[in-house]
Amino acid sequence: MIEYDGTDFYGWQVQPGKRTVQGEIEKALSIIFGERIKVRGSGRTDTGVHALGQVANSFVPPKLSPERLKRALNGTLPRDVYIKEVTPVPPDFDARFSAISRIYLYRILRGRSPLKRRYTLELDYEVDVERMREIARILPGRRNFKYLAMKDEGECDLKRVEIKEKGEEIHVEVEANRFLRRMVRGIVGLLLQGGRGKILPEDVERILKGEKRKPPFAPARGLYLVRVVYPTP
């Protein structure tokens, strides 16, 4: 289980010549074991997206206990990635395909704060949280969310879209069996336009069908992969 600050990464997935989280972890494992080792994540996160609980699995030589491997990894990794937990798993465990759902959080700040700017979307306009909730209630269900996503498609079972107020922040928590590319940021973009009254509940079905243009994606810096859920064995 991995926490990272996405700000200075080109996302999760290995890309030649780019600094990625997967790339850093594979490099650290390869240093520790002296051989090329790959990891498999539960899913990609885009450039700038953070994680509190990304999950990845790997086959490694049985030389170190989980606790010692965790220490060796954290001693080798840069400060913006941290391995929170190392656990042995059955050989058929697959961080991606074994997952039954993913939970993301999006943090919106009403106003501006230099100390939170890397980790929230700073809003320079007013939103009405009740209006956001009206939009949020329409979204859950099994459907193809392609019109809220970016060059991706397929059915997702969106289980919940919850909006909570925490002081000056608005937190949007979403859970689905899987998400299309940029889909969470598409949902938050929609909620924000709803909160401004620029999109009404009756517009939502038309947007989901591609009959009305979707609002812009919310930026990456407010987004966190919080938890990946696996069946309890």
- Which are the catalytic amino acids? 46
95 within 8 A of 85, measured Cβ to Cβ: no
Q: How far is the CB of 142 from a copy of itself (least distance, A)?
A: 33
By C-beta, is 87 or 113 nearer to a copy of itself?
113
Torsion 207-210-211-214 (CA) sign: positive
For a copy of itself, the binding residues (CB under 8 A) are 3-5, 50, 52, 74, 79-82, 112-115, 117-119
Q: Where are the beta strands (DSSP E) in the chain?
A: 2-4, 40-41, 50-54, 56-57, 81-83, 101-110, 121-123, 141-144, 155-166, 169-176, 223-229
Supply the minimum distance, in Å, between the C-beta of residue 82 and a copy of itself: 5
Q: How far is the CB of 117 from a copy of itself (least distance, A)?
A: 5
Pick the closer one to a copy of itself by CB: 10 or 93. 10
Nearest to a copy of itself of 3, 157 (CB atom): 3
Q: How many residues does the chain have?
A: 233
How far is Cα 83 from Cα 2, in angstroms, rounded to an integer? 5
Q: What is the 3-state secondary structure (H, E, C) of 42-80?
A: CCCCCCCCEEEEECEECCCCCCCCHHHHHHHHHHHCCCC
Contact between 181 and 49 (Cβ < 8 Å): no
**Nearest approach, Cβ of residue 207 and a copy of itself (Å):** 31
Identity of the residue, 4 or 147, whose beta carbon is nearer to a copy of itself in the bound complex: 4
Which pairing describes strands 81-83 and 2-4: parallel, antiparallel, or unpaired? antiparallel
Question: What is the smallest separation between the CB atom of 170 and a copy of itself, expressed in angstroms?
Answer: 18
Compare residues 9 and 217 and give the one whose CB is closer to a copy of itself: 9
Q: How far is residue 67's CA from residue 69's CA, in Å, rounded to a whole number?
A: 5
